[in-house]
Structure 1
Amino acid sequence: MVNSSTGLPDRKINGAMLKSLQIGNYVLIDSLDVTFPEGLVIITGQTGAGKSILLGALSLLLGEKADASSVAQGADSCFVEATFAVPESDTDLMAILADNELCSEDGDIIVRRVVNRTGRSRSFVNDSPVNLPLLQSIVSRLVDIHSQHQTLLLSDSGFQLSMLDHFAGNTSLLERCATLYHSIREKQSELEKVRIRLERMAEERDYNLSRYRRLEEAKLKEGELEELEQEQKQLANAEEIKTELCMVESLFSSSDLPSDALPVSSALKEIQRQLEKVSRFIPQAESLVERVLTARTDLEDVVAEVMAINSRTELSADRLSYVEDRLSLLYDLLKKYSASSVAELIAQRDSLSGMLFDSQAVEDRMAELRNEIDSLSSEYSEVSSRLREARLSASVPFAREVTAAIRELELERAVFDVEVTEGPASAKGSDNVRFLFSAAGSSPTDVSKCASGGEMSRLMLCLKDMMARFVKMPTLIFDEIDTGVSGSVAARIGEKICSMGRNMQVFAITHLPQVAAKGDAHYVVEKHFDDNLGKATSTIRLLQGEDRIMEVARMLSGTTLTNAAIENAKELLG
């Protein structure tokens, strides 16, 4: 099947693939919309044409810091957008997309980043806004830019360990090791918090005990304050209350009233008697008799209640003193404990009780955590030991394969070795891995101390080639990895990169014709100057047929094309 956009044959790839790239108002790129095929994609161009600008745009998608200088002159903002095809078998990436509700219907991933004139940026995945850490976690699985400076990774112990583990197939062991390590750290963190809490409980025990005892000794009862306040009012005014109640009693039935006045009870009896006489003549008066009788009954109940209240009302100075003392205590406690009610005081008392008497539960939790940590640590040690055995077993064949690969790049005497030693515990076990190298073939030493730039570059290429066989690799971009080499070495590097392109999408930004001729597709970056606008712009276009021959010939001979260079280009392109 042929790609309709490029006219090149499609092939099945194992990893992510950059399908298209759109750039607008980015530095010297006004507008760019280009599609890419699978396999090995070559990008060339004269110095200063804009290859680094293209790479910078891709780096922006990878989450690099946004800069206002990226926005083209006269524009308010710039954008970079890329569409990636991702195999469904990449379950880790699919899980990230699903967890963040970023999946698309067609399975493609569209990543977009916009930078405005102030330097602030916004990021989107499948048209949904995302933060920078999430963008980085997604795009790092889609694109890997391998530059000249990336050979610094060879000096990184984490990278070296990761390479050996990929080769050894330690994925499941590493996952279990990381789970155990993080569980231990979490338990240790909780244990430290419990220990500090227990210490604080001990330090505050005397203070809390004093506060608790005062509340406990107060014998608090919910609703007591309101009852006491009411009782205090009655006791403080008891004499006046009894005087008034006695007056009520006397008004109802006392004989001490003036001679011309009847008590209320006597008056009502007389009224009832007179109405009964009238009712013999006027039948309607009978209802009045009944109503007076009812009034007499109600008043007798009132008087009975008044007499009961009067009998209960005490003129007790001792009781008043007790009530006022009790109220004073409660008011003092409310103020001291910043409470608004006795119910809140009771809650504080119960809380203090828990703090004082729950230390045993905290001590039990400490013992439980220590047992859990011991159990997890024992399993961690076992998994770490299995990892070490796997790494030691894999180190020899790994070193042998790397040595063979590097020797194919015309370092015939080169020796590569792997040293596995015991190290501090981590999520990746308790091993240190060190890559050793010697170009001369004797006494290999730390790779960061003995390899030249060209040697490091070739070594890194070999390692990336090996990684492509073990894991699903993202689209790999080689940024002038062939700098400092030429001739047959360059041809070998081209072959190596080309072999990687058989199983994954690889971009090679190169200045060597031997490498450029290996590509499945060849793009050229060009700079044009518009005299009318007074500015330069960079573009990229696909080269085919005669155009590609002429570009490879230019790379061979420089600015002046010769027939020999053209023939040589045809020969390189096959």
Structure 2
Amino acid sequence: MRHHEHSHPALLQGRPAGRKGHRGRAETDPEGGNRQTPLNHCLSCVLTELRICNFAIIDAIELEFADGFTVFTGETGAGKSILVDAVDLLVGGRASADLIRSGAEEAEVSGVFSLKEASPVAQLLHEQDLLERGATEVILRRILSRAGRHRIHVNGRPAPLGVLQALRGLLVDIHGQHDHQSLFRPTVQLDLLDEFGGLADARVAYEAAFARWRELEARLTERRDTLADRRAREDLLRYQVEEITTANLRPGEDRELEREKLLRSQGRRLAELVQATYGPLYEEDPSILQGLGSLTGSLKELAAIDAELVEDRDRFAEALAQLTDLAQRLRAYRDRLEFDPDKLEKVEERLDLIRRLVKKYGGSLEEVVRRGEQAQQQLRELETGEADLKELSVQVADAHEKVAKLAQALSRKRTKTASDLEKRLERELKDLRMAHARVCIAVEQESDSGGLKLTATGSDRVEFLFSSNLGEGPQPLARIASGGELSRVMLAMKTGLAEQDRVPVLVFDEVDAGIGGAASEVVGKRLRHLSQHGHQVFCITHLAPIAAQARRHFAVTKVTKDGRTVTQVALLDKAGRVEEVARMLGGEKITPTIRSTATEMLKQK
């Protein structure tokens, strides 16, 4: 459903009053934001539409968005985070049939994004043949099925999950309520530092050199182990080579010898059988061939008289020629037969040798020959192995030296970046009403027994330390007791790094937990600031000061319809925003004073 009812009298269903949305046409909303806004020089992509059907407790919703800062507010449990889950699904989030609305067989989420042709997202989709040249819109669609056949489409074409997951780091970045915990991990802190310092190229160069060094090290270890194993087997290899080489084997020799053995062992009987055939056929007087030959003249005369017999004459002549040829071949075969017992014994001895070698080294004579060649090759490698090992050792040492130099250079850049980031974060925290906060980013090179400890990310261990009060020494983030302080530190990092971040669409899911008072207004201003510097920002919040800073405001409600609970989402106009901000300030009972305060908050942004 495109439009939804809401208790606020001035609230309009998805669009401001008196305006009908048309794709591709810019429109101005009550707060000055543009829906379907043409992309500017610093904004590479905008989420313009989100459609959700039979997802969790949402039956059907179609939302249209603008650039800038957008908030979603509503009571706890109304379904605000379901919207985040839907966007997460579009960029490769985990799919589960449990997300399908009860009673439905499929759930569907689709999103329409406007993008620049030269953006990283467009380049990725061009490479995958999922975006036409010159196109400035991409439609992501994901369908969940209880049958287990979940489907993905990009611009109407089937696509693998990996494409959506690749878009997560290029198109959308989602910051959830539990991102605070990820900040405790040194690996995450290291990545944040490198991101802030623009050290991606230095990291790539180091990682390539590190991978090459580890590859050479692995080859060196393998070569050493192989040579050690062959040295232990050297005597055996030499014996195998000598035994197989001395045998002077030829491929196919065993089959030739088996035939020769047959002929020699059965020679007498073969000769008798040949003679029994050859004698009457050719050798005796008169022979069969002589008798048949005498018929040739009669058949010739018959054919001369009656042409009908020409073919028969020719067939007789051909048969006679074949019998003559057979007689000649039988005589040649008889002449080759030998009855020498000594030669038969030698053939049998040779066959016995071949059989022993086949049984010992493989299933065939060819395999024995191959094993001999392998043993010879291994012996040659033993002779040259020491030289190869020495050369490979030099390559490993050179690669290690290169990696160590790159690690040192990367560490120096990180140390400088840490100083700059400390100042940036302290400024951000000061804006978040933490005037005495101190941030210390420790960059320490680690060592082991071999000297500098080199890992896939360098030689540094990075740890963010924090102190919120004067006179207190900085402590690891994990020891910060206050959830509100941790939330502000996390937001300071997100906002402090966002201008370096090229991901255009940022989604914040209740990351303001534990924040209140004046700090919440500052958080709202910081999020609005992000939306003015290359990002489209979405935020789910329970705080009125943050909601008041947004350009567009959606209310999320949970209602009962036809005996079932459904989530509805609607765009608020100015009057609707006053009512919603007043509700966030005062709860169910909204007094004129609270309403006046809400009005002032919306004017002051």
Q: How far did residue 230 of structure 1 move?
A: 3.0
1:166-205 → structure 2 map (5 Å cutoff)? 166-205=195-234
Number of the residue aligned with 2:313 = none
Is 1:427 matched up with 2:453?
no
What TM-score results when the alignment is normalised by the length of structure 2?
0.80
Distance 2:282 2:161 in 1: 94
Does the CA contact (< 8 Å) of 2:271 and 2:337 recur in 1? yes
Q: How far did residue 471 of structure 1 move?
A: 2.7
Aligned AA (1:475): V
Does the CA contact (< 8 Å) of 1:498 and 1:519 recur in 2? yes
Q: How far did residue 519 of structure 1 move?
A: 0.9
Distance 1:46 1:226 in 2: 89
Is 1:386 matched up with 2:413?
no
Number of the residue aligned with 1:33 = 62
Q: How far did residue 6 of structure 1 move?
A: 5.4
Is 1:324 matched up with 2:337?
no
CA deviations over 1:482-518 (Å, ceiling 9, x no partner): 3333332211111111111102111121122211111
Distance 2:345 2:98 in 1: 84
Determine which of 505, 511, 523 is the counterpart of 2:536. 505
Distance 2:331 2:585 in 1: 127
Deviates more, 1:490-499 or 1:148-157: 148-157
Number of the residue aligned with 2:394 = 371
Q: Using a 3 Å threshold, how does the CA distance of structure 1 residues 203 and 550 change in structure 2: closer, same or farther? A: same
Secondary structure of the residue that 2:556 maps to in structure 1?
strand
Is 1:519 matched up with 2:550?
yes
What TM-score results when the alignment is normalised by the length of structure 1?
0.84
Distance 1:111 1:271 in 2: 96
Number of the residue aligned with 2:418 = 395
Distance 1:271 1:63 in 2: 96
Instruction: Structure 2: state its 5+ residue gaps.
Output: 1-23, 305-318, 447-452
Q: Using a 3 Å threshold, how does the CA distance of structure 1 residues 100 and 336 change in structure 2: closer, same or farther? A: farther
Distance 1:387 1:563 in 2: 59
Distance 1:569 1:476 in 2: 26
Number of the residue aligned with 2:488 = 458
Secondary structure of the residue that 2:578 maps to in structure 1?
helix
Q: How many residues align?
A: 552
1:407-426 → structure 2 map (5 Å cutoff)? 407-423=430-446, 424-426=453-455
Determine which of 442, 448, 469 is the counterpart of 2:499. 469
Q: How far did residue 468 of structure 1 move?
A: 1.7
Does the CA contact (< 8 Å) of 2:488 and 2:515 recur in 1? no
Q: Using a 3 Å threshold, how does the CA distance of structure 1 residues 246 and 548 change in structure 2: closer, same or farther? A: closer
Number of the residue aligned with 2:46 = 17
Instruction: Structure 1: state its 5+ residue gaps.
Output: 283-294
Does the CA contact (< 8 Å) of 2:49 and 2:112 recur in 1? yes
Q: Using a 3 Å threshold, how does the CA distance of structure 1 residues 311 and 429 change in structure 2: closer, same or farther? A: closer
Q: How far did residue 271 of structure 1 move?
A: 7.7
1:298-317 → structure 2 map (5 Å cutoff)? 313-317=337-341
Number of the residue aligned with 1:102 = 130
Q: Using a 3 Å threshold, how does the CA distance of structure 1 residues 402 and 311 change in structure 2: closer, same or farther? A: closer
Is 1:552 matched up with 2:584?
no
Does the CA contact (< 8 Å) of 1:143 and 1:476 recur in 2? yes
Q: How far did residue 76 of structure 1 move?
A: 1.0
Determine which of 48, 67, 73 is the counterpart of 2:102. 73
Deviates more, 1:495-504 or 1:366-375: 366-375
Aligned AA (2:484): G
Secondary structure of the residue that 2:583 maps to in structure 1?
helix
Secondary structure of the residue that 2:464 maps to in structure 1?
strand
Deviates more, 1:23-32 or 1:127-136: 127-136
Structure with higher Rg: it is 1
Does the CA contact (< 8 Å) of 1:22 and 1:33 recur in 2? yes
Q: How far did residue 305 of structure 1 move?
A: 7.9
Distance 2:330 2:565 in 1: 108
Deviates more, 1:136-145 or 1:295-304: 295-304
Distance 1:300 1:360 in 2: 64
CA deviations over 1:113-172 (Å, ceiling 9, x no partner): 332336774444444445545532322432222233212232121222222223333222
CA deviations over 1:281-327 (Å, ceiling 9, x no partner): x9xxxxxxxxxxxx999999999987776665433111111112222
Determine which of 113, 116, 119 is the counterpart of 1:84. 113
Distance 2:478 2:234 in 1: 58
Is 1:562 matched up with 2:585?
no
Is 1:478 matched up with 2:508?
yes
CA deviations over 1:531-565 (Å, ceiling 9, x no partner): xx211111111111322222222222221232222
Does the CA contact (< 8 Å) of 1:6 and 1:35 recur in 2? no
Distance 2:555 2:334 in 1: 112
Aligned AA (1:184): W
Q: Using a 3 Å threshold, how does the CA distance of structure 1 residues 402 and 301 change in structure 2: closer, same or farther? A: closer
Determine which of 224, 230, 236 is the counterpart of 2:253. 224
Distance 1:108 1:367 in 2: 58
